[in-house]
Amino acid sequence: MAHTLSSCVLLALLVMVFTSYLAIAEQHNVLSYGAKPDGRTDSTKAFLAAWAQACSSISPSTIYVPPGRFFLQNVEFKGPCKNKAIVVRIDGTLLAPTDYRIIGNAGNWIFFQNVDGVTVSGGVLDGHGSGLWDCKQSGKNCPSGATTLGFSNSNNIVISGLTSLNSQMFHIVINGCTSVKIQGVRVTASGNSPNTDGIHVQLSSNITILSSKIGTGDDCVSIGAGTTNLWIENVVCGPGHGISIGSLGKDLNEPGVQNVTAKTITFIGTQNGLRIKSWGRPSNGFVRNASGVKISDVIYQDIQGTSATQVAVRFDCSKKFPCTGIKMEDVKLTYKNQPAGASCNNADGTTSVRTASKQIADETNQNSINLYSNFASCSTLAMTNSVEKCNKARKALKCVTALLESEYGALYADLEEPEADYRIFPLHDAAATGFVLVLKWFELLLCHKATNGFENLVFRITIS
């Protein structure tokens, strides 16, 4: 009985302590510091005063921005803070100056630096960037433009339910940060607005971008050097340039990019889907788990949609540092209601597709030729010498021919050999007959004497 009573007393004390802890949690309404919700009065000093109080407190604090329109010039919320649980709750709209020159060279409009445990929740950030876009498109000498919301050298950050409109430059930048979660944000700018990347991440690790909608004039998500462990999921992208890694290799010793996952992404009216860009210069940079930039171990999986161009997948890699470990799994893209194609230069990897895809042969590039069809058991990859290439070609030809004969009958058993002038033999479309003829063309090319000028040919038939 005494033991039970002691437990009850202890529980009551814990409840009292927890209740007291909640009671001393602080809220700093920016109106109390002089902010005006009229959209005209400069409220910058009021926001900074509220931040100073929250940052210096040892209690969890909320900086509250009520409904209304609040005009801000560039504002920097600096740490480190005593408080590692600060919430900036925005129920109103924050307005940047309409004159782009006021903050155009500030780097950032709203900037958090050296903070830990900050959450920015809700609200609208209107960057009023259209004036600067017009300036840049006119060819005049213009400011570089301000990022709407930037975090630098910060940890344990949450950005949730935020809307960013018409940024002068990038909308959200994560630089030198760890453990950042961006969820439920909406980013909007004109499709022709220059350099208005939605979310840019660099020199940062353990970043997640979830359940967001991003449409701008540039990259929906741009991934810079030094990014590791980035997870992007359930994002709608468009208009814009798609999701981009790079450009990498601008600096000789810049860090690489590792472990990037983009899952359940919808691209609508974008210039690209996912692309990896590099500068055409030597560098020690790399892309791994995914010029002188090494790109390796990149997986494209379960991708469906339509392409604005016939070639929907393009790998144009460095001859000195070719792309390796590229995996294409269930990539189904169409162009004008027909299977789209792919082009590959100095890249090595595998494909696995459950449905037929259009055969591609880049006749202008003797270093790479790709074929695709729907025969999963007949896969063969590039080999290093002509004997192995020849054997692989014959094996693939025999395998595909046997499958076609078993499926369609003797029609394919009596195909005539291509003409002797095999170098200009026409490549056919994805029809079964065309594949057999193309395979025979490659067999002749690789197994007969007349292969002068093709010593460096990378023979790649991927039939999946």
Nearest-angstrom CA–CA distance, 446 and 296? 28
Model pLDDT, residue 344:
78
Whole-model pTM?
0.73
Same domain, 227 and 154: yes
Low-confidence ranges of the chain (pLDDT < 70): 1-24, 280-292, 352-464
Model pLDDT, residue 41:
98
Same domain, 132 and 83: yes
Model pLDDT, residue 24:
60
User: Is 241 an annotated catalytic residue?
Assistant: yes
Same domain, 297 and 260: yes
Contact (CB, 8 A) for 359 and 429: yes
Domain of 67, CATH number, reads: 2.160.20.10
Same domain, 301 and 380: no
- Which range of residues forms the domain containing residue 263? 24-306
User: Where a domain ends, among 243, 276, 306?
Assistant: 306
Contact (CB, 8 A) for 173 and 150: yes
Please state the φ and ψ torsions of residue 461, each to the nearest 5 degrees: -115, 115
Q: Show the 3-state SS of the chain.
A: CHHHHHHHHHHHHHHHHHHHHHHCCEEEEHHHHCCCCEEEEECHHHHHHHHHHHHHCCCCEEEEECCCEEECCCEEEECCCCCCCEEEEECCEEECCCCCCCCCCCCEEEEEECCECEEEECCEEECCCHHHHHHHHHCCCCCCCCEEEEEECCEEEEEECCEEECCCCCCEEEECCEEEEEECCEEECCCCCCCCCCEEEECCEEEEEEEEEEECCCCCEEECCCCEEEEEEEEEECCECCEEEEEECCCCCCCCEEEEEEEEEEECCECCCEEEEECCCCCCCEEECCCCCEEEEEEEEEEEEECCCCEEEEEECCCCCCEEEEEEEEEEEEECCEECEEEEECEEEEEECCCCCCCCCCCCCCCCEEECCCCCCCCECCCCCHHHHHHHHHHHHHHHHHHHHHHHCHHHCCCCCCCCCHHHCCCCCCCHHHHHHHHHHHHHHHHCCCCCCCCCCCEEECCC
Flag whether 10 is in a domain: no
Same domain, 251 and 356: no
Model pLDDT, residue 135:
95
Question: Of 48, 29, 28, 25, nearest to 37 (Cα)?
Answer: 29
Same domain, 234 and 94: yes
Question: Of 349, 346, 262, 372, nearest to 297 (Cα)?
Answer: 349
Provide the number of structural domains found in the chain: 2
Same domain, 313 and 394: yes
Options 3, 128, 241, 448, the catalytic residue: 241
Find the angle CA(65)-CA(71)-CA(72) to the nearest 5 degrees: 90
Flag whether 16 is in a domain: no
Nearest-angstrom CA–CA distance, 220 and 234? 13
Same domain, 263 and 287: yes
Same domain, 311 and 376: yes
Flag whether 2 is in a domain: no
**pLDDT per residue as tens digits for the range 76-128:** 999 999 999 999 999 999 999 999 999 999 999 999 999 999 999 999 999 99
Query: Quick one: tokens of 391?
Result: 């054997």
Same domain, 348 and 371: yes
Flag whether 440 is in a domain: yes
